[in-house]
Structure 1
Amino acid sequence: MRYLLIAALLFSAFHISAQSLTGKVTGTGNMPLQGAYLFNIKTGNHAHTDETGNFLLKANQPGDSIRISHVGYQTVMVAYAGTVLNINLKPSTFQLNEVIVSEGINHLSSVASIDLQTNPVNSSQELLRRVPGLFIGQHAGGGKAEQLFLRGFDLDHGTDINISVDGMPVNMVSHAHGQGYADLHFLIPETVGQVDFDKGPYHANKGDLATAGYVAFSTKERLDNSSVTAEYGKFNTYKTLGLFNFLNKPNQAAYVAVDYLKTDGYFEAPQNFNRLNLFGKYTINFKNSDKLSFSASHFTSSWDASGQIPQRAVDEGLITRFGAIDSNEGGKTSRTNFNILYNKYFNPTTWLKTNAFYSRYKFELYSNFTFFLNDPVNGDQIKQKEDRNIAGFESVLNKRYGLGSGDLTIQAGIGGRFDDVNNIELSHTKNRNEVLVPIMLGDINQANVYAYLNTEIEIGKLLINPAVRFDHFNFRYANKLLTGNPSTQEGQDIVSPKLNFLYNQTKDLQFFLKLGRGFHSNDARVVTAQQGYQTLPAAYGADLGTTWKPAPRLIINAALWYLFLQQEFVYVGDEGVVEPGGRTARKGIDLGMRYQLNKWLFVNADATYTHARAIDDPNGENYIPLAPKFTFAGGLSIKQLGRFSGGLRARYLAARPANEDNSITAKGYFITDANLSYNYGRCTFGIITENIFNRAWNETQFATTSRLQNETDPVTEIHFTPGTPFNLRGLVTVRF
């Protein structure tokens, strides 16, 4: 009995002395640091800071050593001496041994942090290439959204990938040029602070279009310094960038970014490309840990394009690789955004995040894919145009409960988005100024309201993540080509459950199993015409993989995955319809590696293999056109070798089927780019090169049926946009 009493007293004493540690971690300018990692060396307990910089680390005793780290900041060791700890971390040179792989369900978050630290970006296209396995292609003079490829998908311009900036959607649903159209050119890459991404339909806070994955960009809350950059290069390319700090105080920051780009491009017909970007952001962190952030941006662009050209025209010597059949393509677009974010902090276990946004968007595009197939006299040029307003909000309550040795975290979110699209148009035109035949013209009102519940149950080394999402859609289309502008309306709901498992064997070894159901919505014009049929087909996915740090400066990630779609969507923009592609199945393997050879030299590599097939078609005729089979991207990065920094990067996209029976093949390519910069005082001098070996390659390719003006019969073959030849640009940056 005496021994039981002693044991009870010791147990009670332990629980009295083992206390939770709360507090806040800040960085530059005393701004909160999200994702800082706190680790109790003795017990192995760990915690992360939330978006307000606050944390809760359980079961600590006096004298315990607590390690606090964050990528890009000096690691600090402190002894537990009280229940509250507020600490400011100092910036430091990035080192891979500081990265902790035992993060949350999104196992790729550490990869994103590494790549952004070691590989600075110079364009929105390069931002998208930060996603391992994601390839892009431009085929309209640089002004149109890129064509995207990921996990065996030809994503078109965003049909199966959810893209956002500061919680504001980039994708345009029921767009004039394709479902999910995602034009990211309004984002100035130098303002990006974080890139969050994952593959598959596994996250409850990501809804429509998040089937192959999602990419979420977050802009910086403050700049390290003000700067002005001037850039000049081949093809009559000019670029200027200004980053200006207007307010840089503790807990408060405001800055403005201005970016202008002009180029003629590498085609024989000048592209006359012009783009202007303006961005401003103000952030204040209140003493009670509340945070308010407001941002505004404006983007406008105009261009001419040489378009896609048929291979036979080049083979017959009618044009060169950089020539055009119809050089009268091109367009203009603009987008103005307002975004406000407010974080309400209640206590270390409860906080509320709310954001609201509004966008004003215009788009006008002229294309000619088939030349003289349909109209032998005037040609087949088409116009796609729309005028759109987007408004939306999301509010998420974050709550954490203690479960003995574990934790229960709940995220309950509600939100909505409303698209008001006026005069969405598809017309047969001539020389950009004459409408020959109106094909489609109308107004779209599309609403999506949703709610989700995401839970994380942490029991020792195991994290279980059950979640569910509910979406309601309402589609309305008024046809202005019919007398009286009659409108049709349809609505539909979908429930998307998720169940993910994460096992942290150690802080350097993580295993995961992800299961989830997602969806992509159809175009409102098609939904209303089909009385709601095939409105929200589901996608079912599974990922099994690991993230492993076998050495302090080496991180390896791998995943086996499978994705099934109830209905593939193929949007034919020149006809204004969606062609159903039937059920599809994709499976594959993703491999990635990040390694730091010494203090200044980094290497990274990502490879993917995918097997993609249509289920309902017979073997040999069930290939999914343009689905990537094998991809590779990797390179070397030099970071602060004395005054020098730079990088050498290569990407490989293997040949792939261009049609269902693989009788037409889209050629693969292997392209190498390089950059080098030199810092001298407040100045940086840099050189950026593309395609350093000057390879002839096709950036985008399609199996298209077309007819040239001198032909009597149509021909189906590869039509392509050539990739950039060797390109060289120089830049000078002055900081102040």
Structure 2
Amino acid sequence: MKYLFTFLLVGWMVLPALAHQGTLQGVVYDAQTRKPLAGAVVTLPAVVPGISTNEAGAFKFRRLDPGAYEVTVSFVGYQTSTEKITIVDGETTSLSVYLRPGVVTLEEVKVFSANAHDQQLINAIDIGLRPVNNSQEVLRMVPGLFIGQHAGGGKAEQIFLRGFDLDHGTDIRLTVDGMPVNMVSHAHGQGYADLHFVIPELIENVHFKKGPYFADKGNFTTAGWVDFRTKERLERNIGKVEVGQFNTWRAFAAVNLLGETMKEKGQSLYAASEFNYSDSYFDSPQHFKRFNGLVKYNGQLSPKTTLSLTGSHFYSKWNHSGQIPDRAVAEGLISFFGAIDDREGGETSRTNVNAQLLTQTARGGLLRNQFFYSRYLFELYSNFTFFLNDPVNGDQIRQKEARDLFGYNGSYTLVAYPGGHRSETTIGVQYRQDLTGGSELSHTKDRVETLERKQYGDINELNAGAYVDEQLQLGERWRLNAGLRFDFFRNGYRDRLQTGPYQSVTAGIVSPKLSLYYTASDRVQVYLNTGKGFHSNDTRVVVPQNGRQVLPPAYGSDLGVIWKPAPKLLVQTAFWYLGMAQEFVYVGDEGVVEPSVKSRRLGLDLTARYQLGRQLYADLDVNWARPRAVGEEAAPYLPLAPLLTSAGGLTYYAGKGLNGSVRYRYMGDRPANEDNSIVAKGYFVTDMQVNYTRPRYVIGLSVNNLFNTRWKETQFATESRLKNETAPVDEIHFTAGSPFFGRVTMTFFW
């Protein structure tokens, strides 16, 4: 009996391979640029489920019965292609599919288990038809994500998502082509993420997901992650000029450096640059300047290996008006766009080198190797409390650092079919090291005189991680995704204000992930995501405390539904929970650590996309959250955490001729302090974009704050004292949001 069972088991696994069957494999390309398309949906009418292409644009069907088939390939923003092929017994049939750009239609969005909720995508059409002043504003396209600028455009924006005031990036992981954006142990605060080094026109798409459920995403992935992907290949040369109110102008150009012959051989090299200037809408001119330059190569080193190599440089310098107190405006001391200390401002730069190698192995696996390096300089002058601490000279501070950031990301993905079930296994390793010299917090006067150094030292922070991720197709309707991740940290600090030795501490954390997807039909999918994540704490905090609470964990769950009640209507809903073991936040503005608390957040996300006509689209995002501190009955609120937000609009996209978008964003009132005695008032703002498109040029008009609403973009409950006041006052301090702000653009192609 024992031998009979063994025989039957071996037969169950082996006989399918011995049957009369064949294989279909292929690659999907963009017909214009010859670039492989990742995420295209490939279906065979007689085979369920279909599959999506990998990063190399490749797909493979195994164990197909001999005969004639129709292969359908679709991708949002491209014309659907249907190819007829014949499968021959025991042979592999190869297919190359070239998709041509077409009108976007929601009918092409597929709901099926093979690409179950893999990634959500913001494409170039979304980016091109919404008012965007810089790449950081593309973050607004992530459903439920809001940003706020409180330093005039040169400093990284404040980010809000899922009941979090994320400051500048404490609980959201941001990357560009896989290269980290968040800065650990930054002079202005943990996780500081400045995306201004990305040129908006070069963003091809943006991938994002919410929650700590992804094994390949490590530090800061609690509320979610966003990955910007820049163009691998330039469709055509571009020149652009923008002119706007408040002495605002911008010039941009991107040029191919190789000819058509090299493009047909799969080689691309282009250069791009931009320069921005604006005095902005504040009473004190900001003299804001930003320069970006980039060179990128993408090409086939062999039929199975692709190299992407990018070099870029970014520089920005500005003045800003800072946050102002309500009372100063109410008493007529300054205007709504005025300043108490207009000597605030900063200067920053970042130089990047990023090399990515993608290889398809002989066994059908996908090998990824990435090496990156950044040289980063930062200097910021701020004054949040005015004359609270120093009634004579004022409370201006300088935060400054010089950083070398380098690292490696590597992974290998293999597709197998154990027992006839499709399995995709990924094993990866990641390494990152930050060497920061002269990390400083100083009391200054008029940006020229240093009165006192409060913090000054060197940081050496290492993060090494390894993970395994398994995606298993369980029949036609079920899919399982399980992952396990381990991260190791070594934090080192040398305090230059003390004579003590260099000190370091180490810590590690294990993060399990598990997700289950059920596709009830080609219109409905239900999923459950669970997982553990973490955000690291600042080195200057954990070293003096001998490594306590280096890596506070987060535990989350999402129960969601993806639903297509009609061919041109897509609805996504998710009820979610996230518990944080410690809100252990370093406040870079003051150089102190806030009292840590446990926290609990739960909420509901609703996203709807509806195609009203062939060229008219509507979208709506509504996000509700209930963030609370655990065990703090008298003061349970988490300051500035959003409670209710919404964004949406109408977009008309016809390709040639008139195109445009009208959009709104709404943030409700929210607590500004722990007991909700001070409230940050909400706002409702509308923006507009109109383009007239011809084959060789585009004329555009964009308007921020179409109805000239008076609103507060960022708000803080701060205790401050003005020069003639005898006692401090704790109240809302804010940065004014943009008034009506129009810009005209002219873009040329050749």
TM-based fold match above 0.5:
yes
SS at match of 2:540: helix
Aligned with residue 398 of structure 1, among 413, 431, 435: 413
Distance change in 2, residues 1:91/1:479 (3 Å): same
Superposed, 1:111-260 pairs within 5 Å as 111-113=121-123, 116=126, 119-120=129-130, 122=132, 123-247=134-258, 248=260, 249-250=263-264, 251-260=266-275
Paired with 1:405 and 1:278, the residues of 2 have a C-alpha distance of 50
Counterpart of 2:643, as a letter, is: K
1:480 matched to 2:484? The reply is no
Counterpart of 1:25, as a letter, is: V
Unaligned runs of 5+ residues in structure 1 are 1-7
C-alpha displacement of 1:642: 5.0
Q: Residue 93 of structure 1 aligns with which residue?
A: 103
C-alpha displacement of 1:680: 3.5
SS at match of 1:716: strand
SS at match of 1:325: coil
C-alpha displacement of 1:575: 2.8
Q: Residue 667 of structure 2 aligns with which residue?
A: 653
Paired with 1:541 and 1:13, the residues of 2 have a C-alpha distance of 40
Q: Residue 291 of structure 2 aligns with which residue?
A: 276
Q: Residue 44 of structure 1 aligns with which residue?
A: 48
Higher deviation after alignment, 595-604 or 381-390: 595-604
Paired with 2:116 and 2:721, the residues of 1 have a C-alpha distance of 48
Q: Residue 535 of structure 1 aligns with which residue?
A: 550
SS at match of 1:30: coil
Deviations 1:305-364 (A, max 9, x none): 100000000001100111100000000000000000001211363121010100000000
Q: Residue 524 of structure 2 aligns with which residue?
A: 509
C-alpha displacement of 1:459: 1.0
SS at match of 1:535: coil
Aligned with residue 635 of structure 2, among 621, 642, 646: 621
Give yes or no for contact 2:119–2:208 (8 Å, CA) kept in 1: yes
Distance change in 2, residues 1:43/1:325 (3 Å): same
Number of residue pairs aligned between Structure 1 and Structure 2: 725
Superposed, 1:14-53 pairs within 5 Å as 16-27=19-30, 28-53=32-57
1:322 matched to 2:345? The reply is no
1:699 matched to 2:702? The reply is no
Give yes or no for contact 1:100–1:110 (8 Å, CA) kept in 2: no
Give yes or no for contact 1:445–1:476 (8 Å, CA) kept in 2: yes
C-alpha displacement of 1:43: 2.6
Paired with 2:286 and 2:333, the residues of 1 have a C-alpha distance of 20
Paired with 2:39 and 2:174, the residues of 1 have a C-alpha distance of 21
Superposed, 1:585-600 pairs within 5 Å as 585-600=600-615
Counterpart of 2:28, as a letter, is: V
Counterpart of 2:319, as a letter, is: D
SS at match of 2:71: strand
Superposed, 1:50-61 pairs within 5 Å as 50-61=54-65
Counterpart of 2:498, as a letter, is: L
Aligned with residue 469 of structure 1, among 471, 476, 485: 485
C-alpha displacement of 1:581: 2.8
Paired with 1:93 and 1:246, the residues of 2 have a C-alpha distance of 29
Q: Residue 714 of structure 1 aligns with which residue?
A: 728
C-alpha displacement of 1:465: 0.8
C-alpha displacement of 1:118: 7.4
Give yes or no for contact 1:515–1:541 (8 Å, CA) kept in 2: yes
1:81 matched to 2:86? The reply is yes
| TM-score normalized by the length of structure 1 | 0.96
Paired with 2:655 and 2:301, the residues of 1 have a C-alpha distance of 39
C-alpha displacement of 1:457: 1.0
Q: Residue 327 of structure 2 aligns with which residue?
A: 312
Counterpart of 1:628, as a letter, is: P
SS at match of 1:125: helix
Paired with 1:530 and 1:555, the residues of 2 have a C-alpha distance of 50
Deviations 1:689-720 (A, max 9, x none): 01011010000000000000100000000000
Paired with 2:109 and 2:127, the residues of 1 have a C-alpha distance of 12
SS at match of 2:602: strand
SS at match of 1:569: coil
Higher deviation after alignment, 437-446 or 453-462: 453-462
Q: Residue 693 of structure 2 aligns with which residue?
A: 679
Deviations 1:708-733 (A, max 9, x none): 01000000000000000000010111
Paired with 2:607 and 2:328, the residues of 1 have a C-alpha distance of 40
Distance change in 2, residues 1:153/1:291 (3 Å): same
C-alpha displacement of 1:670: 0.2
Give yes or no for contact 2:206–2:226 (8 Å, CA) kept in 1: yes
Superposed, 1:191-590 pairs within 5 Å as 191-247=202-258, 248=260, 249-250=263-264, 251-347=266-362, 349-460=364-475, 461-483=477-499, 486-590=501-605
Higher deviation after alignment, 135-144 or 35-44: 35-44
Paired with 1:640 and 1:346, the residues of 2 have a C-alpha distance of 41
C-alpha displacement of 1:298: 0.4
Higher deviation after alignment, 494-503 or 80-89: 80-89
| TM-score normalized by the length of structure 2 | 0.94
Q: Residue 4 of structure 1 aligns with which residue?
A: none
Deviations 1:346-388 (A, max 9, x none): 1363121010100000000000000000000000000000000
Counterpart of 1:109, as a letter, is: Q
Counterpart of 1:495, as a letter, is: V
Paired with 2:323 and 2:128, the residues of 1 have a C-alpha distance of 35
Paired with 2:131 and 2:117, the residues of 1 have a C-alpha distance of 22
C-alpha displacement of 1:509: 2.0
Q: Residue 728 of structure 1 aligns with which residue?
A: 742
Give yes or no for contact 2:254–2:271 (8 Å, CA) kept in 1: yes
Give yes or no for contact 1:269–1:324 (8 Å, CA) kept in 2: yes
Give yes or no for contact 1:118–1:602 (8 Å, CA) kept in 2: no
Paired with 1:510 and 1:114, the residues of 2 have a C-alpha distance of 26
Paired with 2:553 and 2:17, the residues of 1 have a C-alpha distance of 51
C-alpha displacement of 1:90: 2.0
C-alpha displacement of 1:103: 6.4
C-alpha displacement of 1:80: 3.3
Give yes or no for contact 1:634–1:651 (8 Å, CA) kept in 2: yes
Paired with 1:651 and 1:135, the residues of 2 have a C-alpha distance of 9
Give yes or no for contact 1:121–1:189 (8 Å, CA) kept in 2: no
Paired with 1:635 and 1:567, the residues of 2 have a C-alpha distance of 37
Give yes or no for contact 1:22–1:348 (8 Å, CA) kept in 2: no
Deviations 1:100-148 (A, max 9, x none): 2336677373453497377456321331111100000000111000000
Percentage identity across aligned positions? 48
Paired with 1:206 and 1:669, the residues of 2 have a C-alpha distance of 33
Paired with 2:19 and 2:558, the residues of 1 have a C-alpha distance of 42
Counterpart of 2:59, as a letter, is: F
C-alpha displacement of 1:12: 8.0
Distance change in 2, residues 1:79/1:658 (3 Å): same
SS at match of 1:205: coil
Paired with 1:179 and 1:338, the residues of 2 have a C-alpha distance of 23
Give yes or no for contact 1:447–1:475 (8 Å, CA) kept in 2: yes
C-alpha displacement of 1:557: 0.4
1:63 matched to 2:105? The reply is no
Paired with 2:268 and 2:659, the residues of 1 have a C-alpha distance of 28
Give yes or no for contact 1:115–1:130 (8 Å, CA) kept in 2: no
Unaligned runs of 5+ residues in structure 2 are 1-10, 88-92
Higher deviation after alignment, 342-351 or 223-232: 342-351
RMSD: 1.8
Aligned with residue 606 of structure 1, among 600, 613, 621: 621
